[in-house]
Amino acid sequence: MSQGAENTALEDGSGAPERLGSPSRPLNRTERAVWLGLLSTHMKLLRTLDTELTAAERIPLSSFEVLLTVAEAPEGRVRMKDIAASLLISRSGLTRIVDDLERQGLVVREKCPTDARGFDAVLTEAGRKAYRRARKVHLSNLRKEFLDKLTDEQLTTLAGIWATVGLDDNAAAC
């Protein structure tokens, strides 16, 4: 079979492409461009969002993500372990972020009302205000650096791709 034939996508009836060849075969030119493009775009966007949030509000992106998670929670409180799981960070990493947010007066830790072994992160009024200001900076830069560069059709296509590969499971409300 020729190299080109190995990279041909076939339909298996499910709508998902079926690739021929070994799962450990090297990436072809297109696959490599897709993979490296995803990594590069992700890295550059995170760096830009972090830089802009830190400059404007003195809140790094990692802290903003915690504030967002707590602010968007139904009662403005979230179990620490649930924040760590949703943001894909270690509990010790989350503890360091929350320690910093507590020092700034943006969150407090309270005993979980349903489980005395656990703690919730709870947004303070100052935390709510800081979150609203930081959210404006975050959304403005997210749009400028990424979303506004794409057409509506491209956005729809990307949303479909993320749903297909299952990367939208932890999508936050930004």
Structure confidence by residue, pLDDT tens digits, 78-107? 999 999 999 999 989 999 999 999 999 999
C-alpha separations of 124 from 73, 109, 138 in Å: 13, 10, 20
Domains delineated in the chain: 58-165 (1.10.10.10)
Q: Nearest Cα to 93, choosing from 85, 138, 57?
A: 85
C-alpha separations of 53 from 14, 78, 108, 110, 149 in Å: 42, 23, 21, 27, 20
Distance, in Å, from the CA atom of 148 to the CA atom of 155, rounded to the nearest integer, reads 10
- pLDDT score of 169: 53
Q: Can you list the residues of the chain whose pLDDT is less than 70?
A: 1-21, 167-174
- pLDDT score of 135: 97
Q: Nearest Cα to 53, choosing from 44, 43, 42, 64?
A: 64
